[in-house]
Amino acid sequence: MPRNQPHVSRETSHAGDPGAFVDTPIAAAAARASEILTPGGTPPLPHPPQPRILTVANQKGGVGKTTTAVNLAAALAIHGLRVLVVDLDPQGNASTALGIDHRQPGLVSVYELLLGDADLASAIKQSPAHENLYCVPATLDLAGAEIELVSLVARENRLRNALSRDALAQFGFDYVFIDCPPSLGLLTVNAMVAAREVLIPIQCEYYALEGVSQLLRNIELVQAHLNRELQVSTVLLTMYDGRTKLADQVAEEVRRHFGDKVLKTIVPRSVKVSEAPGFGMTIIDYDPGSRGAMSYVDAARELAMAGAPAAR
C-alpha cells in the first residue's frame, strides 16, 4: 500500500482470510472482537527498554486528545503492556473513560501529586477495564492548580519529579500517556517536561493545522529551556470522514508537514467512539469489533513497533 494511502482500519481485511470466514456483519464484528481480545493470535508487542512517556497535546479542544490517550492505553494494555494514563485535564474525561469516578470525595488525584501532597503510589487507580491499565485521575481541584503552581518551587518540574524512573519502575509501567488540557498553560508545560515524546492528535477538519504551529513553538521553548530530550514522535489523524474530500486534503497536508511521524492508521469518525465514555468505557471495551476500536489497536501497534525515537 502506498505510504500516503489512508489506512482507516482492517475492516475488510477478513474478506480474503479463510481462517475467519464471516458472512454477516455480526459474525464479522465477533471475529474482529475475538482477534482484538485474544492478542495471542497476533505477534506480541515489544516492551520498551525504558518506560515511554508520551504527552498527548494539542491546545485545540475536541480534537481527540482524551479519546486517543485512553484508547491507545487500553489497546496496549490488552497486549500485555502495563500502561498508566495521567489525567491532566480538570474535566477528568480520561478518568471517566477509564471507569474511575473522579467525583468521589477524598479521591487522591493528580492535583495532590503536583502539589507534592501525595506520591504516585497513592494517586494511582487501577482501571476496571484491564488489570494492566492504571490512571492517575483528575478532579475539579486541578482547575485551581494552574494558579497555585505559579508560586511553588520548580513549578514546571512537578510532574516529572512525581513520575521519576524509580516511581514508574515500582509498578513496571511500559507506557505513560499524559492527557493534556486544551491550553498551553503550566499544566501542559508540566506534561512536556515530564515526557520524552509528544503525540499530537489532529482532527481531519477545517483549520486542523491552525494552532499547531503555536504548539510547535511551545515545544521548542520547552526543549530550549526545560527538557532537551522532548520531541514530537507521533501524529495521529482522528475523526476521519472518508466521505469528504476535505478529510483527505487535511490528511495529505499533515503528512507533508510531519512526514513519517504520522501514523499510517487513521481513526475514523464513529458514533461508537463518542458513545463509549458515557458508559465509563474505552471503545476497546465498549465495542471491540468496531472500526474505531480496530483503528486504535492498529495505531497502538504502530506506535509500539516504531519504538521510542532516538535521542536528540
Q: Which residues bind ligand ADP (CB under 6 A)?
A: 61-67, 93, 182, 238-239, 267, 269-270, 273-274, 277, 292
Mark the segment that binds Mg ion (CB under 5 A) among 85-93, 117-125, 149-157, 191-199: 85-93
Spatial separation of the C-alpha atoms in residues 202 and 236, rounded to whole Å: 6
Q: Measured from the CB of residue 88, what is the shortest distance to ligand ADP in angstroms? A: 11
Residue type, 7: H
Distance CA 253, CA 186 (A): 30
Min CB(298)–Mg ion separation in Å: 22
From ligand ADP, Mg ion, none, which one binds at residue 44 (CB under 5 to 8 Å depending on kind)? none
In the complex with Mg ion, the residue whose CB is nearer, 66 or 295, is: 66
**Closer residue to Mg ion in complex, CB, 238/290:** 238
**Nearest distance from C-beta of residue 240 to Mg ion, angstroms:** 19
Q: Which three cell numbers stand for residue 1?
A: 500500500
Report the C-alpha gap between 147 and 126 in whole angstroms: 29
Give the shortest CB-66-to-ligand ADP separation in angstroms. Answer: 3
Burial class (CB in 10 A: 0-12, 13-18, 19+), 157: middle
Q: How far is the CB of 269 from ligand ADP (least distance, A)?
A: 4
By CB under 5 A, residue 66 contacts Mg ion: yes
Cβ pair 195, 110 in contact under 8 A: no
DSSP run (H or E) holding 52? strand 52-56
281 binds, among Mg ion, ligand ADP, none (CB under 5 to 8 A by kind): none
CB nearer to ligand ADP: pick between 168 and 180? 180
The C-alpha atoms of residue 237 and residue 226 are separated, in whole angstroms, by 28
| Helix, strand or coil, per DSSP, at residue 74 | helix
- 102 binds Mg ion per the rule CB under 5 A: no
Binding range to Mg ion, per CB under 5 A, among 31-39, 42-50, 82-90, 298-306: 82-90
Chosen from ligand ADP, Mg ion, none, partner binding at 265 (C-beta under 5 to 8 Å by type): none
Q: Which of 52, 60, 65, 255 binds Mg ion (CB under 5 A)?
A: 65
Alpha-carbon distance of 129 to 271, in angstroms, equals: 20
- State the chain's maximal CA–CA distance in angstroms: 63
At residue 153's C-alpha, the angle toward residues 211 and 51, to 5°, is 60
CA 146 – CA 168 distance, rounded (Å): 24
- Of 51 and 201, nearer to ligand ADP (C-beta) is 201
Establish if 203 lies at the interface with Mg ion (CB under 5 A).
no
Binding site for Mg ion (CB under 5 A): 65-66, 89, 93
